[in-house]
Amino acid sequence: MNGKIGLEEHFATAETLQDSAGYLPASSWKELSSRLLDIHGKRLQQMDEHGMEMMILSLNAPAIQAVPSPALANDMAIRSNDFLAEQVAKRPDRFQAFAALPLQDPEMASRELERCIQQLGFKGALVNGFSQVDSPENVVYYDAPQYAAFWAEVERLDAPFYLHPRNPVPSRAQIYEGHPWLMGPVWAFGQETAVHALRLMASGLFDRHPELKIILGHMGEGLPYSMWRVDNCNAWVDGPKAYPAKRPLGEYFANNFYLTTSGNFRTQTLIDAMLEVGADRILFSTDWPFENVDHATSWFDAASISEADRIKIGRTNAQKLFKLPVDAPASPDASRRMVGAHR
């Protein structure tokens, strides 16, 4: 399929580049760093060669979230967002943007989100997990009470919010001691993000703000296969509900969350996610530059799903969610002609 749109596609600035060091073997750093810093060169070439019309770009991780000073985090977010806006302006037909947000200070984050959506034309926000506030050890998750006004602003702006992974801080990562291979995308990323998402669901956030749209990568960070058990474990026990949310958490997952295929290129996993949340809530992504565009696209184009679902997941779901132009036809043949026209 041509005309695909990806929305977990990262870049780095010179200021944030080193945050991505260590996730891959040192022998891969030269290639990874060049991929992160490039936007209009090899990235576009890969997109053209593999049928990707557009990437929605986001800053690498943890970046803003790992800057304990709220003022410094805010300054870095503004600089990064301004840089990204300049890059998107060069090729808005091929790139759009997610805002980086200084959630160390919810009011600053709200102001920057409003600026990015209303002035810069960004399509939403991507935030790299919890924020470290005032000190590296003070870890804050976004179900905390101080984020109430921020979430109201996210809903008001109708801004999709991508909750992206990061590793736990070392003092909270004892389970991984002696097993560093479990950190990062192998395991720790998914576990950290899944728990954060469950905290949001259980907090009552979606009762207060039912129009919020949260995106999870990597086919849902394992949650599609766990939500039934989250709601139904020990069902024979008659006890009080342990959290404020009014409904079963699986209902929020089905109604307020979207999933992407980033870095999880397995058809059985895709089909199970489709059975859990429906094809209308799954969107194609690659996780470039940490994963290869060709690996993602070759798998997706051949996955044993219907062509109607392939077009939804590959293209039209993103158009609807992010209010992208829909003037170009979504059929495989038509989108092939359209992508060829950009070369």
- Looking at residue 343, its pLDDT comes to 36
Residues 103-131, mean pLDDT to the nearest whole number: 98
280 an active-site residue? Answer: no
pLDDT band at 260 (very low <50, low <70, confident <90, very high): very high
Domain of residue 102: give its range: 4-341
Average pLDDT, the chain: 94
Return d(Cα 336, Cα 317) in angstroms, integer.
18
Mean pLDDT of the 236-258 span: 94
| Mean pLDDT computed over 304-311 | 98
24 or 190: whose pLDDT is higher? 190
Q: Is residue 333 very low, low, confident or very high in pLDDT (cuts 50, 70, 90)?
A: very low
Question: Which CATH number do you get for residue 138?
Answer: 3.20.20.140
Give the pLDDT confidence score for residue 22 in this predicted structure: 86
- What number is the average pLDDT over the span 130-142? 97
The pLDDT confidence band at residue 322, using thresholds 50, 70 and 90, is very high
Q: Is the pLDDT of residue 342 over 80?
A: no
Give Cα 247 distance to the centre of its chain.
Answer: 25
Beta strands in the chain (DSSP E): 4-11, 52-59, 95-97, 125-127, 131-132, 139-140, 161-163, 214-216, 257-260, 282-283
pLDDT tens digits, one per residue of 274-286: 999 999 999 999 9
Domain count, the chain: 1
Q: pTM of the prediction?
A: 0.94
Residue 238 is predicted with a pLDDT of 87
Catalytic member of 19, 105, 287, 309: 287
